[in-house]
Amino acid sequence: MSRYRLYPSPAQRVALLGHCAHARFVWNLGLEQRLMWRPGREPTPGYFEQKRQLTEARAAELWLGTGSATVQQEALGDLDRAWRNFFAGTHRRPTWRKQGVHEGFRITGRSNWDVRCLNRRWGAVKVPKAGWVRFRWSRAVPDAKSYRVTLDRAGRWHVAFTAIPKPILAPGRGEVVGIDRGIAVSLALSNGEMYQVPDRSARVTRLQRRLSRAGRGSNRRKQAKMRVARTLARDADRRKDWAEKASTDVARRFDVIRIEGLQIANMTRSAKGTLAEPGRNVRQKAGLNRGILRSGWGIFAQRLEDKAPGRVEKVPPAYTSQRCSACGIVDGKSRESQADFRCRSCGFACNADVNAAINIAAGHAVTARGGLPQSGRPVNREPQLLLYRMS
């Protein structure tokens, strides 16, 4: 999906906001109908029945009839697709769309829209009932069948053309690489290379403090809230850009890519607990969760799988950071610090993240504490018993 920055005029901005409101209303209304089903009741209306009811609603309600029928029908299509994905087990259950959070709509069918290049820097996309809206021509527009217009919390309009990019071909040299993901070092490769996600902007903390001091409902609070949103949006854009470039670079250089199979959703779960059983170290865990989410683990892995399909293997991460990549001894005390690894058995010293990446590249995953699937022998963590393994 190729996304471009939109620059609508004031009149076009009003029309686009109206399309977002209509799409959000139709989505929520259709979702309410789907959620009304209970065992023993009649089936809820499907996509085609809801489209028929939409025609009647547009004729009865003037404010809905003045909007674009294409936008409203596509909202029902998105809802039906979301339900099918939910029942297929690939996505979560559809939820309500809220104003200021879910602002966007989709247009399909080349008869409903068109794109033209104005010059080498600007282009224009035709939006129903809004006319030609300018966007920044940062790269060639793909041959897409639909596009989606969105408004983020920073007040920026974007248009995304739906097109599946071609996968990156393997170089054919037979090279295998392992990737260890961390917070201090975002990505560590088994060949010693490291990738670091751009740091969070220093302005965010200062702007958030200013926001906390502003009175609720005041204009100053609205301005401070918008500044925070714009700064966070720029940080997210830099993180996405980094993930795109890093995944493209790795996919072009290696044939087989092995990466940690991390459950990020479980790792970033809150430790607050309940009133009856409150959690421990809640603030520390919250800080760790923010660090993990800012590292871009998930978006990097997803884009890597999209660009190198069939070449990405996920390795269980158990004890990969405690295993010596030289002798195979598993010893938690060998990792002296976050960055230093020194095996107490053979004396092998290496960067801790690179050592873990080498284990991942070899596919070495410790199945249980004290055992390796390669040897089947007991692996002792005390260095003085190394002679037992060598005999």
State the DSSP code for 383. G
What distance in Å separates the CA atoms of residue 221 and residue 225, rounded to the nearest whole number? 6
Largest Cα span, the chain: 87
Which are the catalytic amino acids? 180, 260, 353
Query: How many residues belong to the chain?
Result: 391
Counting Cβ atoms within 10 Å, is residue 26 exposed (0-12), middle (13-18) or buried (19+)?
A: buried
The number of CA neighbours under 13 Å toward the Cβ of 362 is 17
3-state secondary structure of 145: coil
Nearest to 15 by CA among 160, 100, 131, 156: 131
Nearest to 360 by CA among 107, 138, 177: 177
Nearest to 257 by CA among 187, 317, 180, 312: 312
Where would I find the H helices in the chain?
A: 10-35, 47-60, 62-65, 69-88, 203-213, 219-253, 264-267, 282-294, 297-307, 352-361, 386-390
Counting Cβ atoms within 10 Å, is residue 337 exposed (0-12), middle (13-18) or buried (19+)?
A: exposed
End-to-end CA distance of the chain: 58
What distance in Å separates the CA atoms of residue 193 and residue 188, rounded to the nearest whole number? 6
3-state secondary structure of 159: strand
Cα separations (Å) of 206 from 80, 227, 228, 313? 43, 11, 9, 41
- Written as one string, the DSSP assignment of 29-44 is HHHHHHHT--TTSPPP
